[in-house]
Structures are given as structure tokens and as C-alpha cells.
Structure 1
Amino acid sequence: MTFLYKASSDRGTQWAKLFAQKAPEIPFRIWPDTGDPAKVRYLAAWQPPEDPARTLPNLEVIFSIGAGVDQFDLSGVPEHIPVVRMIEPGIVEGMVEYVTQAVLTIHRDLLDYQLQQQQKTWDPLPVRAASTRRIGVLGLGVLGTAVLERLKLFGFPCAGWSRSARDIEGVECHAGANTLDTFLARTDILICLLPLTVATRGMLNTALFNKLPRGASLIQTGRGPHLNQDDLLAALASGQLQNAILDVTDPEPLPQTHPLWTHPRVRITPHIASETRPDSAVEVVLDNLRRHQEGLPMIGQIDRSRGY
């Protein structure tokens, strides 16, 4: 029963050490050193090998090392092989930290003050109470829920939107396409934490931006293809949007000549909002291995009909 890791070799080495400490009975290998492919039962990967069922004929489970699986070609993974996305404390904590600082950067006008500093200008702006700045999160999975739980502690009026109904104490929850416009109309800072699916690709576009209050801001920590980048530039130019903080783009990185790099109202970070931490990730994977062996549902197993 071999466990195979296929991603960064440096991180693979860390996983190997943790497996040796916590589960020495499980043979652990790092791609492309598969050993006997017929012995591989479990695969953790950013992207599986092409035709994984042929390459690893006795594969039982594929674990994504990231919070999403949009980088997988699920059409190449047979239906009988469960696909499990990573839900672990390190990813959650990192996302909460990133989104909190991004919201506070916008709320306390730090992008404006950065421009002032470049111009050697000293011009204090009026400070708004958190209670007057309405936060809206697209996507109420584990990450979206954790972000809202933290932001509501600052006193921001918080709302969330998801495809199916959710109930989060102290958060105004909206569900389904018929509630999206109402959600957007009350949102001053929009945070995207949606999974990337056929339905959400390109969702952040002119039509959506125009349903936000004029002067709203965007924090994009979902996936690059959620955003129509030309529509974002147009919304910033018109004043419909005031600021954008982007941790993901399409492609990654953007071409050197892309205007978002130098836009004074845009801050870009290189897809670092959150990442899997080997110590906590291995604990989660080992727990899921136990669940699988005992016939229990695995935490993070995707619903293929939804794509997440």
C-alpha cells in the first residue's frame, strides 16, 4: 500500500519525513520514483499524471494538495476513484490572515496613502467606522465561512453568497442566483472565494461590477479565470470600482506589459494568500486514509457533479 506524492520535491521531502514519523508502516514515494506502480494505492498531487488509472492501475484515492481541484482534468480520473481536496488548518489560517489584511488595507485607505507617499503628500483622510463598510463574500465553503467569522469581529456588516443555503451566526446569508443582485447591492468590499467551475468562470465581469455600489472594491483570492481582467480595468477607469487586490491572475504571472501590474489602484501578490502546510496537511491526509480504510466519508471528497 504505497502512498505517492507528486508536486514540489522540496515539499515532498517534508511530507516523507512526517510520514516516517507518524505512519512508518506506509511506504512513501515521491514522483517520478513510483517503485512498483501496482502497489500505489494513494496519490497526493497538484496535478495527477496523465491517465492515472493506467499509470497506477490499483489507485484508490487521489488527494489534491491544494484547496481546489480545478487544476485536475477530472475526465481522466475514473468515477470509482474518489478525489479529495485539501481542507486543513494551514490553508484556512493563511486565507483568513490574507483577506483580513486586504480588507483592512482598503478600509483604512492604505492604497491611497501609498500613492500619497509616492507623491510626498501628507493629507489625512476621514476614518470610516467598520460598521459603515459592508463586506460580502462570494463562496461560503470552509474558507469563506472562516473569513467571515473573523471579519465580523471587527464590526463590519458581513454577508455571504453561495449556490446552496448556509446559516452563519451574525452573517446575512444569500443563496441561489435569484439572490445575487441583492447581495451585490449591499456590498462595499467584495471578496471572491468561489471554486472555479463552468458556472463561475468569468463571473467577475462588467455586469457583476455594475451591481455593486459605485466605488466598491474587489479582493480576488479565488482563481484567476473567475475575473475578466479587461472588465476590471474598465470598472476602475470609470470609478465603478475604487480598488482591487488580486492574489490570483490569468495567466500566472501576468505578461510583463499587462496594465494591471502598474495600475495605481491595484495590488498584486503571487498566489500566496494561503498554502498547504506539510505538518497539518499530513495529519489531515492520514485521518482521511483511516476513514477510507474504515469505509467512512473522507473530509473534502468532491462532488463531481458540482466540480468541487
Structure 2
Amino acid sequence: MKVLFAAPSKDWASWQPALEAACPEIELHRDGDPASFDALIYAPGYPENGEILDFTPFTRARVVQSLWAGVERIVTNPTLTQPLCRMVDPGLERGMTEYCLGWVMRAHLGMDLYAQDGIWRGKTCPPLATSRRVTILGMGELGRGLAAALRPLGFRVAGWSVSGRPVEGIETFAEADLPAALARAEILVALLPDTPGTRGLLNRETLALLPEGAWLVNAGRGTLFDEADLLAALDAGRPGHAVLDVFSAEPLAPDHPFWSHPRVTVTPHIAAATRPETAALIAADNLRRAMRGEPLRFLVDRTRGY
């Protein structure tokens, strides 16, 4: 099986040994005749001359396996006709769960109330988790993983997705039920992909539906909200605080108002990362499935964008 590693050169040193260990039967190359490859391992930024990759010459390729969880920068390529699979890495899922769980607990316990300024604030005691309502926007692998971590702690977890597909043990909301999902969200965690249906989903009108003082944790995509709308909503107290790990333009400019806003915490897109040692196993499985003509895992639905 001849595979092209169509990703930036900086990724080669970490991915090449992981991929060859997970799938020793492959011949992994960094260049060659496009028509000779059975599959592509792909990440945006290839080719590195700034041009958009033309998938047309890869007439033999049975699958394009993305190294990224998000595929919004790939599905818009009109030359891509081969099956595209997104990366669902258990290591990334675990990292995202830990990041979001940490911020949910910080919000729940009100840890930011205790400034080290000599003032004894003994009257502020948080409720138990069984009284705290958490809403997760996006109930894919990441959202379901976070819900599974929150439930044993007693949080009243609900999930929202476009389909409203039921998830065992939690209240679920469908696309039309967004107002109800937001109205209950004392802590709102957003793990949505970047699609036409999610861009600008949180705006002045929808943010105003949050309970006063609610926390927003966005570790999905920065296109979920208009930045001016979010700043205005923060000034109005809905949400009361925003933890933002992703942005429409990265890195965030040094003079961006998010840095200095007292109700915003910026983290530099570190919520989770794809780890070659675990993700290579997913890629290897799909390469073998493609060669055997079996159904591919995590196949992208082009109409939905993920």
C-alpha cells in the first residue's frame, strides 16, 4: 500500500515513525507520482508553497485521511472527490475532556472569587454539582466524552446538537430547541465544528438567553460567535465570564480586547491536540479498510461539513 504523507514537513518527524509502527505494511512517501498512491495522509498547509492541493491527479487513491479533527479547510476544495475521513483521536478526546472538565469545575466552584487581597469572603459557598446545570453544544465524540466525565460528579448535564440524537443518561435538545438549551446553561461548553450552520450561532440574541452570570467555555471553533457581539454580551453579564481557546484569527493579536477584558480568559488553542502515537492507530485502521473495500470510519458527510 503506497501512501503519500501530504502534510507540512514539520509534522514528518513525529508522524512517520508512528504511522509506520501502526501500519508496517505501508510504503510511506513524501512525494511521487500522484497516480501511484493508494491513499493520502493529509493536513492543511500542504503543499508548503501556499498553493491549494489539487486532488484530481490522485486517481488511484481510495481514501484521504485527515490528520485534523476539523475538516472545514478541506471539504471546500472542489477537486476533492475521494472519500475523506476526519481524525477522531482518543488522545485528543481525552485531552479535550480534561481541559473542559477543569474549567467547568473552576466555574462551578467559583474559584475566581477568591482574590488574594486580604479580604475574607466566607459567605460564598458553591452549590453541589447536583444543583448545577451544564449544557454542551455539540454532541459528537468530544461532547459525549465530556458528558460521560461530568455525569458521575452529579452535574445536571444536557446536550444540544442539530440532529438532537438521543444520548443515554442526559437531556438532549435539537436544532430548534437552542433557546431552551441556552436558558438552562449555568455553564455552557461549546465543542461545535465550523460549519455554515454553526457560524455566528452565538450572537446578541442567543447569548441574551443565558442565565445571568453564566460561564461560557469555547474549545470548538472561533467562528461560533461574532467577537463584537460576545464583548457586548459580557458587558451585559450574559455570559458572566468566557473562557476562549479558539479564535477566528490565530494567534490572537496582542492588542485584541479579549486580552484585557476582565471577564475573559484566553488560552492559546491548547485545549487538546492530536497525538501521533494514538491517532496513527486510527489512520492505520482506515488505510486497511480502504484497501479491503470495507466501510471507512469517521467518513465526512460533505453536505454537513463534518
Normalising by structure 1, we get a TM-score of 0.91
Cα offset, 1:60, TM superposition: 2.7
Cα displacement string for residues 1-59 of structure 1 (whole angstroms, at most 9, x for unaligned residues): 422223353432222112333433311123xxx03333222222221552432454433
For the aligned residue pairs, the C-alpha RMSD in angstroms reads: 1.8
Structure 1 residues 8-157: aligned runs within 5 Å: 8-30=8-30, 34-47=31-44, 49=47, 50-54=52-56, 56-79=58-81, 81-113=82-114, 116-117=115-116, 119=117, 121-124=119-122, 125-157=124-156
User: Structure 1 vs Structure 2: percent identity of aligned residues?
Assistant: 40
Residue 252 of structure 1 aligns with which residue? 250
Q: Unpaired runs of 5+ in structure 2?
A: none
- The amino acid that maps onto 2:209 is K
- The amino acid that maps onto 1:175 is A
> Are the aligned partners of 1:67 and 1:87 in contact in 2 as well (CA < 8 Å)?
yes
Once the two structures are overlaid, the 10-residue window that deviates more, 213-222 or 125-134, is: 125-134
**Residues 4 and 163 of structure 1, relative CA distance in 2, 3 Å threshold:** same
Cα displacement string for residues 265-293 of structure 1 (whole angstroms, at most 9, x for unaligned residues): 21111111111111111111111111112
> Are the aligned partners of 1:87 and 1:299 in contact in 2 as well (CA < 8 Å)?
no
Residue 235 of structure 2 aligns with which residue? 237
Cα offset, 1:120, TM superposition: 5.3
- The amino acid that maps onto 1:87 is V
- Aligned residue for 1:52, secondary structure, equals coil
Residue 284 of structure 2 aligns with which residue? 286
Work out whether 1:5 is the aligned partner of 2:2: no
- State how far apart, in whole Å, the 2-side matches of 1:59 and 1:296 are: 15
- Aligned residue for 1:173, secondary structure, equals strand
> Are the aligned partners of 1:85 and 1:302 in contact in 2 as well (CA < 8 Å)?
yes
- Aligned residue for 1:198, secondary structure, equals coil
Cα offset, 1:235, TM superposition: 1.2
- Aligned residue for 2:55, secondary structure, equals helix
- State how far apart, in whole Å, the 2-side matches of 1:27 and 1:223 are: 35
- The amino acid that maps onto 2:197 is A
Residue 162 of structure 2 aligns with which residue? 163
> Are the aligned partners of 1:46 and 1:71 in contact in 2 as well (CA < 8 Å)?
no
Normalising by structure 2, we get a TM-score of 0.92
- State how far apart, in whole Å, the 2-side matches of 1:208 and 1:4 are: 44
Q: Unpaired runs of 5+ in structure 1?
A: none
Cα displacement string for residues 67-94 of structure 1 (whole angstroms, at most 9, x for unaligned residues): 1101225342333x01110012111101
> Are the aligned partners of 1:3 and 1:42 in contact in 2 as well (CA < 8 Å)?
yes
> Are the aligned partners of 2:215 and 2:241 in contact in 1 as well (CA < 8 Å)?
yes
- Aligned residue for 2:194, secondary structure, equals coil
**Residues 240 and 24 of structure 1, relative CA distance in 2, 3 Å threshold:** closer
- State how far apart, in whole Å, the 1-side matches of 2:120 and 2:9 are: 48
- State how far apart, in whole Å, the 2-side matches of 1:284 and 1:296 are: 15
- State how far apart, in whole Å, the 2-side matches of 1:288 and 1:163 are: 27
**Residues 122 and 12 of structure 1, relative CA distance in 2, 3 Å threshold:** farther
